[in-house]
Structure 1
Amino acid sequence: MKTFLTFFVTAILLTSISCYAQRIKDVASIQGVRSNQLIGYGLVVGLPGTGEQSPFTEQSFRTMLTNFGISIDSTVKPKIKNVAAVAVHAELPAFTKPGQTIDVTVSSVGEASSLQGGTLLQTFLKGVDGKVYAVAQGSLVVSGFGAEGADGSRVVVNTPTVGRIPNGAMVEQAVPSGFASGDSLTLNLHYPDFSTAKRLADTINQKLGAQPDQGYVIATPVDAASVRVTAPRDIGQRVGFLATLENFQFTPADAPARVVINSRTGTIVIGRDVQLLPAAITHGGLTVTISENQQVSQPNALAEGETVVTTQSIVDVDLADSRMFKFEPGTTLDDLVRAVNEVGAAPGDLMAILEALRQAGALRGELVVI
């Protein structure tokens, strides 16, 4: 029985396409130009009885009233089922200026059953340094909802305890960055690689007319992740310089030989350069023999050409009682996957084979399990 299509829904053979050029802006970022996380604690009011009566909500409610000059006797316990304590978080993009707005996410931190219909009161959003960078306030947009019966049965759709406020926070101060300082900028690769860093530096030097052989360089690789680029000091010229630089195209180096396995979904991603060393393992009732024959191809005596050696791969699959997998030198995982597909094996069989090959030292490549 053949299950080629069924198996490849869960096992994917990845062919590398690193031969295609990419823009610098797609593979690297500028050091210091980054977003910053903000967080705050506040109150959502106006809920239709879906709030909470927790101690910290009551304390926050009393503190809010005190700030407005209203005091409540400590012996009186207010009923505030229309109020919920929430955590508010947002991301402050680089170069965001005071007066601009950003989106915020509001999440219940107590026992509130829903934030539907609520309004967030003024909440200070702080960075990791404890300073206030934005102030959030506004009506929530909640996609989820819930319904509860008298017998305790309940139906919940999506998540009614989390909401968003588009443009709900006003930025009060900008985050300092080192973009405009110094004589150089540093490009950080998303995926560190020494070969890619060198190719990136070489491309920049070539495009901008540098002459490394005469000691004049514009880009210098610092390590596997970073390339330092000399940039104009004038901020206007620097912006124009980077606008040109980030659109340069170059070819990154090939990715390392790697096999990635998702044990929860059965997904298997195999890199192009993964190879197998000579090995033989036992697995179930399957026998897979993969071998390669070397053939010599000679041109006609009257024709021009060269004598070359070609490789012919032979894959033999058997479901007999024999239980030995045999791999000859030069076998690729492409051959292995196709052979296992022929006998209709499950993704778990291939996972077990790959793990056994790694333990035996016959898998030339990194095995990553997520």
Structure 2
Amino acid sequence: MVSWKKFCAAALVAVCAASLTPLSASADASVTRIKDIAKVQGVRSNQLVGYGLVVGLAGTGDSNKAKETVQSIGNMLKSFGVAIDTSSLKPDNVAAVMVTATLPPFVREGDTIDVTVSSLGDADSIQGGTLVQTPLRAGNGEVYAVAQGAVSTGGFVVGRGGGNKAQKNFPTTGLMPNGAIVERSVEDEIGQDGTISLSLSQPDFTTAARMVSSINAQFGGIARATNPGRIDISIPAYYRGNVVGFVASLEELPVVPDTVAKVVMNERTGTIVMGGNVSVDECAITQGGLSIRVQKRADVSQPDPLSYGSTIVANNTDVKVKDSSGSTIVLPATANVSDIVGALNAVGATPRDTISILQAMKASGALHAELELI
């Protein structure tokens, strides 16, 4: 068995329309930065969510059926010292909404973040509305930001009910750039104990070992892989006061990532992506064509002249079967990407035929790669 030659990152075999285009393989694997395949543990975002009201709508808000909106309006007015009978409210100009946002790492109090506003009731549109001050909470129940301001939907709706309605995009969801003010930051201090950890985007034993070698070659024996997805690093003494500079130096180190031999296939688009480290044993591929055509025809039977017969229409069916001779080609164990594609072209394989052939090769044990159908 001979492995396919490694080429830049991965060799793509794109199958478009009804034919395949041979691709050539490069002898060198790609070199990337640690920054592109790993991240520092502890540097993460946090999701925030809140419930609020959008006011100032032009009759496109929630109806009386949205009890949560009516109750929310009553509670809001009560907090301002206004007591009313909620049964008399008509919340056409108000919509109950869910407000969501992502709190990035390293933001501080007073910074602003973007928020998304989504209708919760039966409002037709929140276009032109204003979000009333809404606390945004994290999973621990603590408030980390407060949102308020005008909502931009990028769409519209005209008319209500029946068929007299025109709509563009989704006017029940809007955005508020810089619409929330951070009230509480998340402590993201790294390296306080003299160590940091890197998490691999795609855990792999070989890639982790290569990253450790690259780091130790630059800074000495400061790194070790505790598992395929994590590398623990001791910060050198001369970098203890400059952790940011140390992480920046780490991220720029080159490493050659390793990948699992995989063939990804998309039957809907006829696209096939093959990794450069896929190998194949000698095998024979036979691709034959069986064409079956079923066609209905109407036969009309006319009676003889001056007879008392009647015209009869009979529906008959013709079935034609065409079994073309199959093509057989032997694929040697020294095949590379071009040989595979050329062989499948030689037997006249369509994209779906190619997927079936690769699945059959995998089932026979001739194709040494993981097949993934998307």
| TM-score normalised by structure 2 residue count | 0.78
Provide the secondary structure at the position in 1 that maps to 2:210.
helix
C-alpha deviation, 1:323, in angstroms: 5.2
1:109 lines up with 2:120 in the alignment: yes
For the Cα contact (< 8 Å) 1:12–1:268, is it kept in 2?
A: no
> For residues 78 and 150 of structure 1, do their structure 2 counterparts lie closer, same or farther at Cα, with a shift above 3 Å needed?
closer
Q: Which residue of 1 aligns with 2:301?
A: none
Q: Which residue of 1 aligns with 2:83?
A: 71
C-alpha deviation, 1:50, in angstroms: 1.2
Q: Which residue of 2 aligns with 1:239?
A: 244
CA distances 1:200-229 after superposition (whole Å, capped 9, x unpaired): 111111112x1xxxxxx2111111111111
Q: In the alignment, residue 169 of structure 2 is paired with which amino acid?
A: N
Provide the secondary structure at the position in 1 that maps to 2:175.
strand
CA distances 1:237-275 after superposition (whole Å, capped 9, x unpaired): 22222222222223223x111011223333221112223
C-alpha deviation, 1:146, in angstroms: 2.5
> For residues 167 and 331 of structure 1, do their structure 2 counterparts lie closer, same or farther at Cα, with a shift above 3 Å needed?
same
1:218 lines up with 2:222 in the alignment: yes
Q: Which residue of 2 aligns with 1:300?
A: none
Provide the secondary structure at the position in 2 that maps to 1:242.
helix
Provide the secondary structure at the position in 2 that maps to 1:81.
helix
Q: Percent identical across equivalent pairs?
A: 44
1:165 lines up with 2:176 in the alignment: yes
Provide the secondary structure at the position in 2 that maps to 1:124.
strand
For the Cα contact (< 8 Å) 1:285–1:320, is it kept in 2?
A: yes
Q: In the alignment, residue 365 of structure 2 is paired with which amino acid?
A: G
1:44 lines up with 2:54 in the alignment: yes
C-alpha deviation, 1:96, in angstroms: 0.7
1:30 lines up with 2:34 in the alignment: no
Q: 1:145 aligns with which of 156, 174, 177?
A: 156
CA distance in 1, matches of 2:161, 2:42: 56
C-alpha deviation, 1:34, in angstroms: 0.7
C-alpha deviation, 1:279, in angstroms: 3.6
Q: Which runs of 5+ in 1 are unaligned?
A: 211-216, 287-318
What is the aligned length?
326
CA distances 1:273-323 after superposition (whole Å, capped 9, x unpaired): 22333344554429xxxxxxxxxxxxxxxxxxxxxxxxxxxxxxxx95125
CA distance in 1, matches of 2:188, 2:155: 39
C-alpha deviation, 1:6, in angstroms: 3.6
Q: 2:73 aligns with which of 56, 61, 68?
A: 61
For the Cα contact (< 8 Å) 1:285–1:323, is it kept in 2?
A: no
> For residues 343 and 111 of structure 1, do their structure 2 counterparts lie closer, same or farther at Cα, with a shift above 3 Å needed?
farther
Write out aligned runs for 1:1-370 (5 A). Answer: 6-7=17-18, 19-53=29-63, 54-74=66-86, 76-148=87-159, 151-177=162-188, 179-208=190-219, 210=220, 217-231=221-235, 236-253=241-258, 255-280=259-284, 282-285=286-289, 321-322=325-326, 324=328, 326-332=330-336, 334-341=338-345, 345-370=349-374
CA distance in 2, matches of 1:359, 1:77: 70
> For residues 17 and 192 of structure 1, do their structure 2 counterparts lie closer, same or farther at Cα, with a shift above 3 Å needed?
farther
C-alpha deviation, 1:49, in angstroms: 1.3
Q: Which residue of 1 aligns with 2:6?
A: none
Q: Which residue of 2 aligns with 1:303?
A: none
Provide the secondary structure at the position in 1 that maps to 2:126.
coil
For the Cα contact (< 8 Å) 1:18–1:252, is it kept in 2?
A: no
Runs of 4+ in 1 over 6 A off after TM superposition: 11-14
C-alpha deviation, 1:81, in angstroms: 1.0
C-alpha deviation, 1:167, in angstroms: 0.5
Q: Which residue of 1 aligns with 2:7?
A: none
CA distance in 2, matches of 1:206, 1:248: 10
CA distance in 2, matches of 1:7, 1:358: 22
Q: Which residue of 1 aligns with 2:299?
A: none
Q: In the alignment, residue 55 of structure 2 is paired with which amino acid?
A: V
For the Cα contact (< 8 Å) 1:15–1:271, is it kept in 2?
A: no
For the Cα contact (< 8 Å) 1:4–1:341, is it kept in 2?
A: no
Q: Which runs of 5+ in 2 are unaligned?
A: 1-13, 291-322
CA distance in 2, matches of 1:38, 1:144: 25
CA distance in 1, matches of 2:19, 2:187: 49
